[in-house]
Amino acid sequence: MNASRMRGVYFSRVAFGGRNSRPVAATTSRQLRRGLFTRARPTPVRNFFINTVLVVGVGLGAYYVTDARSAFHRYFLVPLIRLTTDAETAHRLAIDSMKAGVYPVDRSADAEDPDLEVQVFGKKLFSPIGLAAGFDKNAEAIDPLFAMGFSYVEIGSITPKPQPGNPQPRFFRLPKDKAAINRYGFNSDGHIKVLARLRLRLHSFLKHNESGPVNHAFEEGKLLAVNLGKNKDGDEIEDYVEGIKTLGNYADVLVVNISSPNTPGLRDLQNEAKLGGLLSAVVAARDNLSTQKPPICVKIAPDLTETEVISIAEVVKKSGIDGVIVSNTTISRPESLKSPKSLSSEIGGLSGPPVKELSLSTLRTLRKYIGPSFTLIGCGGISTGKDAVEFARAGATFVQVLTGFAYDGPGMPSRLREEIKKELDGKKWMDVVNTEFE
């Protein structure tokens, strides 16, 4: 045997274990599967560990995303919805999700904080953060909205007869301004359908609770308001009177909306002659309710001159109503808007931060002429705790949000409470109300 061949034999035997061993290339796939590369069989202990980690992980994840304060909503889910849907579709999706029971809750809302309590209409709100009308137009998501941390939820506007509102598209985002323009036009299911929902909700509560409800929010420290509107072809007094007769016994607060810019002639009701007659009629209707007499507020526009605001103040003081909401959307387009004119020039009411200064100005003027004790509710462009406290100092007993809620998501009530606490710097909310006028 020559030297070269001997070296090959020697290498084969040393490397592969003897005369009868075969090279790796010759190893069959069956041998590989049975050999070194065979996966170890899971043991009961290993299975238990993996399953426990999975269950705990899923549980913690579910707990996190079902908390309204989760950053998941503000920084992922809400922006994703804005990116993939138009404004009205997103609005409808939110309502449908809540109806289906798919919504997060504010687990911090159960903790009482005396610094944030509000005394209004002889009752208490656990915080000064309410939701304005326009989100839940037809009483479809009342309890989910309370569960997200609002102390006051205002449904509507609700018209006597069902009406579709204005043609679509009618709701537009102005993302650069965190604002919106809508010309919904009081799209409403009408009094009868809303009444049926309110009755069903009350029946469900009574079925599961031995004692009757403390109020129509069904919880101390919260209030449910019903915002009333008129049909496009309706009567400017009778439509509101009918709303009070039909829905007044199911509300903690009634709101007369005479300031939407999307119903022809509605804002004319803000003039002194018409407003006096309307408010006298609705107060009389409220006083004739059989089971309760809820406070009445009127909602006004921010596009009023000082003379018009003074006139409203005089009428309101004589009328017997209990409060004014300042304010609705504006038909003006401030020069500060950053969004392209193709969006900002859409017809309708502008809401969001660009409305703040207009609303504040109207609030200050009304407070000046209506006096320090009358209840005023601030609304328009509020998106931070600093905004809310600014409205309080200018005369608002509490505030409402809407457009900010749409942009921020379900964590907004909790975030605003935290920011308000920092702004108060050890004071109580009620201590700063009206302080601009001291």
Tell me how far the alpha carbon of residue 174 is from its chain's centroid.
Answer: 18
Which phi and psi (to 5°) does residue 165 adopt? 80, -165
Which residues are registered as beta bridge partners of 298?
A: 256, 324
CA atoms of 311 and 328, how far apart (whole Å): 18
Q: Does the annotation count 290 as an active-site position?
A: no
Site of tokens 């009755």: 199
SS3 assignment, position 225? strand
Q: Are 421 and 153 in contact (CB under 8 A)?
A: no
User: In the numeric block, which tokens belong to residue 224?
Assistant: 């449910």
CA atoms of 134 and 90, how far apart (whole Å): 14
DSSP 10-76: HHHHHHHTSTT---GGG--HHHHHHTTTPPPPPPHHHHHHHHHHHHHHHHHHHHHHTBTT-HHIIII
Q: Are 214 and 388 in contact (CB under 8 A)?
A: no
Per the residue annotation, which of 260, 327, 344, 359 is the catalytic one?
260
SS3 assignment, position 218? coil
Within 8 A by CB and 6+ apart from 204, the residues are none
CA atoms of 185 and 260, how far apart (whole Å): 8
Q: Are 244 and 225 in contact (CB under 8 A)?
A: no
- Tell me the C-alpha to C-alpha distance, in Å, between residue 3 and each of 72, 176, 375: 74, 85, 110
Q: Are 115 and 425 in contact (CB under 8 A)?
A: no
Which residues are registered as beta bridge partners of 253?
A: 225
Which residues are registered as beta bridge partners of 179?
A: 174
First to last CA, the chain: 116
Helix axes 356-370, 306-319, angle to 10 degrees: 50
Residue spans of alpha helices (H) in 168-266: 191-208, 238-247
CA atoms of 361 and 88, how far apart (whole Å): 30
- Tell me the C-alpha to C-alpha distance, in Å, between residue 176 and each of 135, 158, 160, 430: 21, 31, 37, 34
Q: Hey, which residues are catalytic here? A: 260
